[in-house]
């Protein structure tokens, strides 16, 4: 029995199915990210967990207590589930101190001390407490929203794209700070985001969502390296997907013979490589002759982007002639360090590191 469980949750808005059968288990104190393109139903799922809406069918259980099932739903204010919304949703008519203390009874002893403590925990200066939300920067607003949600000692924390309104540098540091803070407090967390990098780096468990269903649930590493299908693979990062025939633990494809995890034999398989698995080594046109088992390509396009640059490589030869024509027209797009990048027209030797992933 996990800390939080959903069983076949369904929710429809008129003719549109926002959720069609979602199951998930979240362990106590863990971090889960739900990631998917906009409109996939992830915000609806979050609203069901928070209790703003009731599911049409299915069950939500938190710590052994049924929060929602057919015919009944615990209202949001009785659930003790924290929420940090996309833009913080701070109350504009209240000071920061009153925002943080909103969930604490006004007559409770030690309320002020608790507010100060919370502000300290989320890294806010004490002087800020007297100000109003609009006088704060975006990052500060998010910290206040987090402190406000933590004030009521929630059993579960929901983060609804809380970092997407921040600029890049701040986003990374806030994400790290929030993850550490919630871990230290031992609060299980669910993050909803459309940013795959954020999901992969934040969570212990990632669920990729599409069309109201989870496509795959697993650890970030598992999802990135062993995606179930093309959609998951491409959603979590750039992917090179090739037709191949499998034999004896190797795949034969336009990039030659590549090791795979499986030993099964299959003719019409599809394999996936992450672009960072392809290594480029500079060579010259003369170096190509007399090495039939090696793979060469020509750099046809280069886009400099600072630390990394985008390199487009057109294959010059292929050990797998039938498909060569097809792949030769679509260059491989790789990201390489900006330092020492090849130039357009250069010939490179291509090799593959690690194993390819085979789609079932």
Partner 1 sequence: MAHADDNTPLFRFPGSRLRGACRLMPSALPYAETVTPLTLVGSGTRRRLPLSWMTLAALFVSLFALLPLGFVITVAVQSGWETVLTLVFRPRVGELLTNTISLMVLTVPLSIALSVALAWLTERSDLPGARLWAWLSVAPLAVPAFVHSYAWITLVPGLHGLGAGVLVSVIAYFPFLYLPIAASLRRLDPALEDAAASLGHAPWRVFLRVVLPQLRLAICGGSLLVGLHLLAEYGLFVFIRFDTFTTAIVDQFQSTFNGPAANMLAGVLVTCCLVLLAIEVLVRGEERYARVGSGAARQLPPVRLGRATLPCLALMALVSVLALGVPFLTIGRWLVAGGAQVWRLDEIGLALGQTIFLAVAGGVLATVAAIPMAWLSIRAPGPLQRVLEGCNYIVGSLPGVVIALALVTITVRVAIPLYQTVFTIVTAYALMFLPRALISLRASIAQAPVELERAASNLGRRPLNALWVTTIRLSAPGAAAGMALVALGIMNELTATQMLAPNGTRTLALAFWAYSGEIDYAAAAPYALIMVLASMPLTWLLYVQSKRMAGR
Distance between CA atoms of 126 and 120, rounded to whole angstroms? 7
Give the residue, chosen from 55, 88, 139, 243, that forms a contact with partner 1 under the rule CB under 8 A.
88
Which residues within the stretch 126-165 sit at the binding site for partner 1 (CB under 8 A)? 132-134, 141, 145, 148-149, 151-152, 154, 158, 165
Cα dihedral 256, 259, 264, 269 sign: negative
Indicate the residue among 73 and 219 with the shorter CB distance to partner 1: 73
Indicate the residue among 80 and 317 with the shorter CB distance to partner 1: 80
Total residue length of the chain? 360
Give the residue, chosen from 14, 15, 64, 93, that forms a contact with partner 1 under the rule CB under 8 A.
93
Give, rounded to a whole angstrom, the gap between the first and last alpha carbons of the chain. 30
Would strands 16-26 and 250-253 be described as parallel, antiparallel, or unpaired? Answer: unpaired
Give the residue, chosen from 50, 118, 233, 273, that forms a contact with partner 1 under the rule CB under 8 A.
50
Indicate the residue among 151 and 272 with the shorter CB distance to partner 1: 151
Indicate the residue among 152 and 265 with the shorter CB distance to partner 1: 152
Distance between CA atoms of 258 and 252, rounded to whole angstroms? 7
> Are 205 and 33 in contact, with CB atoms under 8 Å apart?
yes
The single residue listed with the structure tokens 């029995």 is: 1
Residue 174 touches partner 1, criterion: CB under 8 A: no
Indicate the residue among 79 and 175 with the shorter CB distance to partner 1: 79
DSSP state, residue 359: P
Nearest to 355, CA basis, from 249, 281, 253: 249
| Coil vs helix vs strand at 351 | strand
Find the part of the chain contacting partner 1 (CB under 8 A) among 64-72, 82-90, 115-123, 200-208. Answer: 82-90
- Residue 123's region, left for phi above 0, alpha for psi from -120 to 50, else beta, is left
Q: How far is the CB of 139 from partner 1 (least distance, A)?
A: 13
Q: How far is the CB of 173 from partner 1 (least distance, A)?
A: 20
Q: How far is the CB of 15 from partner 1 (least distance, A)?
A: 17
List residues near partner 1 by CB under 8 A: 47, 50-53, 75-83, 85-94, 102-103, 132-134, 141, 145, 148-149, 151-152, 154, 158, 165
């Amino acid at each position: 029995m996990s800390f939080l469980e959903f069983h076949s949750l369904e929710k429809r808005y008129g003719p549109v199915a926002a959720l069609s059968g979602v199951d998930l288990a979240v362990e106590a104190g863990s971090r889960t990210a739900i990631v998917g393109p906009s409109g996939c139903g992830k915000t609806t799922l979050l609203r069901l967990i928070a209790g703003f809406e009731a599911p049409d069918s299915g069950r939500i259980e938190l710590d052994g207590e049924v929060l929602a099932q057919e015919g009944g739903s615990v209202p949001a204010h009785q659930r003790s589930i924290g929420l940090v919304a996309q833009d913080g949703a701070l109350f504009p008519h209240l000071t920061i101190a009153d925002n943080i203390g909103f969930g604490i009874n006004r007559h409770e002893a030690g309320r002020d001390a608790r507010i100060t403590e919370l502000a300290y925990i989320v890294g806010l200066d004490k002087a800020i407490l007297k100000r109003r939300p609009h006088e704060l920067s975006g990052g500060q607003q998010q910290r206040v929203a987090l402190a406000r949600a933590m004030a009521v000692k929630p059993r579960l924390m929901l983060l609804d794209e809380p970092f997407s309104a921040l600029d890049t540098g701040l986003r990374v540091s806030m994400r790290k700070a929030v993850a550490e803070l919630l871990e230290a407090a031992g609060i299980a967390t669910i993050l909803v985001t459309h940013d795959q990098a954020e999901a992969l780096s934040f969570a212990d468990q990632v669920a990729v969502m599409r069309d109201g269903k989870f496509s795959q649930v697993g650890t970030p590493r598992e999802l990135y390296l062993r995606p179930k299908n093309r959609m998951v693979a491409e959603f979590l990062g750039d992917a090179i997907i090739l037709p191949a025939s499998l034999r004896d633990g190797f795949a034969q494809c336009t990039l030659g013979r590549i090791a795979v995890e499986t030993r099964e034999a299959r003719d019409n398989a599809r394999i996936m490589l992450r672009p960072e698995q392809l290594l480029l080594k500079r060579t010259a046109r003369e170096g190509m002759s007399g090495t039939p088992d090696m793979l060469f390509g020509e750099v046809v396009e280069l886009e400099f982007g600072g630390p990394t640059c985008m390199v487009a490589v057109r294959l010059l030869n292929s050990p797998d002639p039938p498909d060569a024509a097809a792949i030769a027209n679509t260059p491989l797009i790789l990201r390489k360090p900006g330092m020492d990048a090849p130039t357009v027209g250069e010939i490179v030797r291509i090799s593959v590191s690690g194993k390819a992933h085979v789609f079932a």
